[in-house]
A and B are shown apart, each in its own frame.
Chain A
Amino acid sequence: MAVDDRDDAAGKEVPPPPSYRSLAAPVANPVDKFALLPAFLKVRGLVKEHIDSFNYFITRGIRNIVQANNRIEARNDPNIYLRYTNVHVGKPSVQVDYKIEEITPHFCRLTDRTYSAPIRVDIEYTVGKQHELQLKRNVLIGYMPIMLRSYTCILHGKDEAELARLGECPLDPGGYFIVKGTEKVILIQEQLSKNRIIIDTDSKGRVIASVTSSTHEIKSKTVITLDKEKIYLQLNQFTKPIPIIVVMKAMGMESDQEVVQMVGRDPRYGDLLFPSIQECASERIYTQQQALQYMDEKVTYPGAGNQKEGRSKSILRDVFIAHVPDYVGNKRLELSGQLISLLFEDLFKTMNSQAVEMMNRNSDKTRSSPSDFSQLIKHEAITSGLERAISTGNWDIKRFRMHRKGVSQVLSRLSYMASLGYMTRITPQFEKTRKTSGPRALQPSQWGMLCPCDTPEGEACGLTKNLALLTHVTTDQEEGPLMNLCKSLGVEDLTLLSGEEIHAPGSFLVMFNGLILGKHRQPQTFAKTMRKLRRSGQIGEFVSIFVNEKQHCIHIASDGGRVCRPLIIADMGISRVKEDHMKELRDGIRSFDDFLRDGLIEYLDVNEENNALIALYEHVDQDDVERSSITHIEIEPLSILGVVSGLIPYPHHNQSPPSFLFEVKVTFLYNVLQLFRADSLLYLLVYAQRPLLTTKTIELVGYDKLGAGQNATVAVMGYSGYDIEDAIVMNKSSLDRGFGRCIAMKKYTVMKENYGDGVSDRIAKPQRDKDSVLVKQNMRALDEDGIAAPGQIIRNHDVYVNKQTPSVIDRRGAGALLRDREYKDSPAIYKGVDGETTVVDRVMLCSDTNDKLSIKCIIRHTRRPEVGDKFSSRHGQKGVCGTIVQQEDFPFSERGICPDLIMNPHGFPRFDISFVIFKYLFYLFINFPNLVSRKMIELIGGKAGLSCGRFHYGSAFGEPSGNADKVEDISNTLIKHGFSYNGKDFLYSGILGHPLEAYIFMGPIYYQKLKHMVLDKMHARASGPRVLLTRQPTEGRSRDGGLRLGEMERDCLIAYGASMLIFERLLLSSDPYQVQVIFEVVCEFPFGRGWNCATADAVVLGSVCRKCGLLGYYNHKLKASYRSMCKNGENMAKMRLPYACKLLFQELQAMNVVPRLKLTEG
């Protein structure tokens, strides 16, 4: 990008860069390229990265793994062996009673199963003493959880009607797994790329260069440190840093001259190396032999001697490249495919080694005819291993030294957007607790690849990122053919060149996936040829060719996990995509892939972007000089944002607090078939609407089909004083008519346990007396089968499943039926809110994998907004409902318009300093007419939309391209329909009938109800349960706990001097306890005799001995206070103290510390 400081390719063929103003200037008659976006998403889908990578694993990755480990043989007889000849993953199915049944994802969700497919292998193995070769096909080695909408998923390639028949929402993007009935996403993992040298400074301020190298066998980290001008090598295998010259000598460069030559011709290098050379000389190491000896002494484990040489070589194989750790070009994103592949490789190897182990054990033991391997392959390990990892999210793979937690997460189904957001989320490589701001900052290289605004608030801010709309994450591509191609295009092998030749001017190093491939004498020509090949489709479209002029190298990358994005190719600033291409696209003759194939569009990764000058729009009216250096043109500016941030109208008009992601906690439709699912918690908006002011992204992702809120008419004014702190005032009549009404559905599961021997729980029908009147009133919701009937109103304490469990479980009844009295009631009782009407929505019965019957009752509650419920606009402004006011008290206009809610103007989005910075980043884009808050634009845009009957758009940076309506146009529409241009209205007070003194800004704003509802949080108690140990009130709403008067509240009361209130709150209302204290301080008993707790009949009240200050007790038999140590009842005093205090004394005494209460006569 032009803003990238690394782009200093100021060669002679590059003219001076044009001024930024001209880049931002809009175009006279632009080609409408917007249609490319839907075309791209049609081809690739919204969660293409996940599905692509999983497909790659299922089709290629798994084969490579099996092929790499395809032979296992017995240790003592290599002729006994097993060889895998083929592997494939079948269709998702389940084995029921030796019968294989295909399963659908929906079935798995409902029955708590795993949506998985059998992995089958073809094997050849030896049998018997003669080692006869046998072949076996389709041997099951495990079940692989299948990603929805991948090749093997049954949903693949199905149209909407078929999907609906399978119980799947057509808008659901797929890309997740179903494990034990829960939907799990494997989040994209961010990693530093392998085989790249990263130069950084460590905690002590020393310059270090580190490289993580990985091959199929080993993974290692090598660090080179610059300490006190001397260069050292650090490796895990060495106990302490080794001087670099020693390493070089060990590798055969015995003369210092050779060393300096290898490093480079520049004499400065020699000076820099001098201290190191000197140190080496002081250690008296001159020859390779000496050097190796020196290093051997430093090796951690003896025997690693021959390895280290290989390591040292691998370090030098790579060449120093300046890198910034946060630079996206150095990042690789690990997707579900790669992660599962690692897991599978580990499990597969474990399975094989276990088979070998068993074979060895067998043959050691018996020495008789060896069993064949095919019987030793157990498929349970792979199945359960995969299932466990995905369902817990713990990737603990010792073989690859991988210990990661939270790799997979439950797919949030609160909203459609939340689910999509999960799919594009990238988990950071760093710990969230790191205080550094560096990795959190926005990196210029993120442009267009990662969304600049979509990041959570709080500790993960800036670390957890989201992919932008058009980003593609590459999968691995085969290296061999590409390497050969490079060689045939004139790349010379390094081994054939001397040190002097390597550093010859004008020739560039060619690096392939981070490894040195060789040297090329005409780098620009080479790069040009490679790019031409890519554009013509001869090599993969995701191969990147990056010429680094500064470091004199060409980087060619085909590895997986790079982020790249499509851009329109421009010749001298003139777009290759012409109007006729777009027409063909609109007519359906041309697809996105055709654009790629015809060389109109290509994918650039972050590195290659540095070689490009990308313009926002085509600059037909600029002169040739200005635009000649432009190589690419953006498809659409709004694509720099991600899916979730694309929903916000006019995001470029004022800052977006990251908290707008709160949107994901909205109650709404997320799935057109949600009513058929059994989610544990589901909030639905009753009358959901489409926003009047939409964005193109909303339409692209289909969000307009799943409404999330309502277009409320909002008046921006103060009203009633109940609107402080962003609270809103709501119109009661609007609520009556259904505004903000939502349905909360909750799932309650009851398991019918089996205890073996045919003994199991049973579900009894409700008991009735002679007149068939229910014996217990709380069974009124039950049907005759003992389970709540759908449609029944269910109240607090009602039974929804009348379950009975056997009272004696371990009875050996030998199958005899239990009698009625051998069952005891254990009904499932609904805990709801008193006074609320909840209804049983559905009851689902299914048997789980262990053949236990599970009964799922879904209970529905329709809620209208009440005071304290949380609402939010799309701009991250949350506000609770402060009060609800009658419509006649609300202000009205002479047209009869009466707002649905009133918002205080203090709650409008503010422009703060961070927005100014945000804005600066996008400064190139647009000449803003004025800094109008985007919520204001939404309001007047929506108002204009209502007036003229057309949905208005507010896409990001969309004004020049027509994807966002300009404020001027909106104002004109308003004026045309008799409104004031600024969206303000003349209102009358509903209470007094007088005109309000100010003009009120009023119009529709899209409001969403958030899941935080008062009903779920409201809590109070007078008295209630106490904790057994401390006798203090319990904590938390779920336990009907007390409200804590905490430290700070206590401080306030102390400061105020309300001592009696403190006394009451902290003692009387908490855990008062009467004790008997021995009065006098002088005590005849020495320390540490311990608290001799009384017999069971005595401990009702404690007593304190007056003499020794210890606690006594009240003896009910003697009806007197008694002290345990003095063994009499003299000098006792009664006093009250918190039970927790008494407990503390006793605990202290148990530790041989005696607390004494010194009492004085009061």
Chain B
Amino acid sequence: MDRPAAGASYQRFPRVRIRDLKPDFAKFELRDTDASMANALRRVMIAEVPTVAIDLVEIEVNSSVLNDEFIAHRLGLIPLTSAAAMQMRFSRDCDACDGDGSCEYCSVEFNLSARATDSDQTLEVTSTDLRSADPKVCPVDQARAYQQALGGESYDPNTGDQRQVVLHLISLVANPFVVLSCLVHFIPLLLMLALGRGILIVKLRRGQELRLRAIARKGIGKDHAKWSPAATVTFMYEPDIRINEELMETLTLDEKRSWVESSPTKVFELDAITQQVTVCDAEAYTYDDEVIKKAEAMGKPGLVEITAKEDSFIFTVETTGAITAYELIMNAITVLRQKLDAVRLQDDDGDLGELGAHLGGP
């Protein structure tokens, strides 16, 4: 690997412009940097921003239809509010306890006790039945209900204005692919959230009982996906679309229309009055080359020129609700900075500590 000559600076000054910021959704532009920077941020958001999730389950009674491991797995995937996760200790690094859960620095205890008494209806045990020992850490739907009860409209992610969530859900239903692709299990979760009933853990029939103690710990998505705060983190290169106006004018109206319609996403617009083809949403372009192929098929190569701007990225961030999108981005930057600090330290004394192995050496 070529190291830069001493003293040469590659420093750039990236700019961030936030376009949209909702409690669990953010869209922002990242400019004046390159793919390595953008991708590093994405990767850290997915895998290295810590959250809290249930990690140890002690089952006292389980007469439900699902077996113990099944329930433990489902519990683990419930997102817990983790605003305090950055300040918590990893259980393995904690010297205040032996990891049995009765420690305020590294773990939070939960209790669940549900029994379907003599009614003919099945009892749905949901995340709302989880009783947390620490009010700061609880299932996200509980937090939201709590905030709603307070009536507070403060800038807290978990206030999650119901309407907005529903709107968000509509957008998800319109494009469920996004959810399914990486979050199979969060579909019911999100639906339950929207309905305000919590995340379903198991259904109990009359006489069945579930009683358990669970310990939530801090962790990162690299270890297990349940600790990943990101539902979706993705970016795209900003496209640079230039229509060759001269060539465009040689087209008939029908040709223009068919050309505009050849794009699977709505990128171009045909003004009905002026009969001008304009770019209406450049970012809707999915680099599918359909319009270019179409132009070639129409015998007009070079009708449009599309390039990706190599130094500007449009990020889309959605969180599971464990932390806000804002926190996710900020924490990711913090984690990234810590990692870079570790690299710098290595230059000083060659001791990387734990990060050394992580970074794969010099």
Contacts and interface: CB of A to CB of B under 8 A. Distances in A.
B290 A860 contact: no
Given A943-B177, A993-B42, A736 B224 contact: yes
Interface string A978-1020: 1111001110101111110001000010000000000000000
A896 interface: yes
Contacts of A999: 288
B264 A981 contact: yes
Given A893-B234, A995-B287, A1004 B68 contact: no
A619 B70 CA distance: 56
Interface stretch (A270-278, A738-746, A933-941, A1145-1153): A738-746
Given A839-B67, A980-B264, A896 B234 contact: yes
A713 B173 CA distance: 17
27 contacts: A686-B70, A686-B73, A733-B182, A734-B225, A736-B225, A737-B225, A741-B73, A743-B67, A743-B70, A791-B62, A839-B68, A862-B73, A886-B47, A888-B47, A893-B286, A894-B234, A895-B178, A896-B181, A896-B318, A897-B181, A900-B181, A974-B264, A985-B286, A991-B39, A992-B36, A995-B237, A1004-B180
Contacts of B73: 686, 738, 741, 862
Interface in B21-48: 35-36, 38-40, 42-43, 46-47
B264 A978 contact: yes
Give the residue among A710, A887, A896 with the most B Cβ atoms within 10 A: A896
Interface in B161-180: 173, 175-178, 180
Interface residues of B, number: 51
Interface in A678-701: 686-687
B308 A995 contact: yes
B265 A993 contact: no
A488 to B, nearest CB: 65
A988 B314 CA distance: 13
B180 A737 contact: no
Contact of A888 (B42, B70, B173, B287): B42
A984 B287 CA distance: 11
Given A862-B69, A993-B36, A888 B43 contact: yes
Nearest to B184: A737
B119 to A, nearest CB: 20
A559 interface: no
A80 B192 CA distance: 82
Nearest to A745: B67
A887 B46 contact: yes
Contact of B185 (A737, A837, A900, A995): A737
B223 to A, nearest CB: 9
Given A687-B184, A733-B182, A993-B35, A895 B177 contact: yes
Contacts of A888: 42-43, 46-47, 221
B232 interface: yes
Contacts of A1004: 180
B234 A895 contact: yes
Interface string B210-241: 00000000000110111010001111110000
B36 A979 contact: no
A695 B80 CA distance: 40
A606 B283 CA distance: 63
Nearest to A839: B68
B65 interface: yes
Given A713-B181, A897-B182, A995-B237, A839 B69 contact: yes
Contact of B38 (A900, A980, A993): A993
Contacts of B182: 733-734, 887, 896-898
Contacts of B233: 896
Contact of A733 (B68, B176, B228, B286): B228
A758 B77 CA distance: 55
A946 B184 contact: no
Interface in B53-77: 59, 62, 65, 67-70, 73, 77
Contacts of A743: 67, 69-70
Given A738-B184, A892-B234, A986-B287, A886 B222 contact: yes
B316 interface: yes
A732 interface: yes
6 cross-chain pairs, A with B, having the tightest CB-CB distances, nearest first: A993-B39, A896-B232, A894-B236, A736-B225, A733-B225, A993-B35
Contacts of A734: 182, 184, 225
A839 B181 CA distance: 32
Nearest to A686: B70
Contacts of B318: 896
A985 B286 CA distance: 8
A660 to B, nearest CB: 25
A899 interface: yes
A897 B182 CA distance: 7
A979 B175 CA distance: 11
A977 interface: yes
B22 to A, nearest CB: 16
Contacts of A887: 46-47, 182, 221, 225, 228
Contacts of A994: 35
B183 interface: yes
Contact of A896 (B65, B178, B290): B178
A947 interface: yes
B255 to A, nearest CB: 19
A675 interface: yes
Nearest to B289: A999
A978 B286 contact: yes
Nearest to B183: A737
A841 interface: yes
Contacts of B175: 895, 947, 977
Given A743-B67, A992-B35, A993-B36, A897 B286 contact: no
Contact of B288 (A687, A733, A791, A980): A980
A713 B180 contact: yes
Contacts of B177: 895, 897, 943, 946-947
A738 B265 contact: no
B70 A862 contact: yes
Contacts of A977: 175
Contact of A791 (B59, B226, B290): B59
A841 to B, nearest CB: 7
A756 interface: no
Nearest to A974: B264
Contacts of A974: 264
A949 interface: yes
Contacts of B47: 886-888
A582 to B, nearest CB: 35
Contacts of B35: 992-994
A975 interface: yes
A735 to B, nearest CB: 8
Interface in A712-734: 713, 732-734
A686 B185 CA distance: 12
Interface in B274-294: 284, 286-288, 290
Given A862-B67, A985-B286, A993-B42, 11 more contacts: A686-B70, A732-B225, A736-B226, A860-B69, A862-B73, A896-B178, A897-B182, A975-B264, A992-B36, A993-B36, A993-B38
A711 B69 CA distance: 23
B51 to A, nearest CB: 13
A981 B226 CA distance: 34
A675 B47 CA distance: 37
Contacts of B222: 886
Contacts of B181: 713, 896-900
Contacts of B183: 737
A978 B225 CA distance: 29
Interface string B283-307: 0101110100000000000000000
Given A888-B43, A993-B42, A994-B35, A897 B70 contact: no
Interface string A874-913: 0000000000001110001111111110000000000000
Given A713-B181, A733-B182, A892-B234, A841 B67 contact: yes
B213 to A, nearest CB: 15
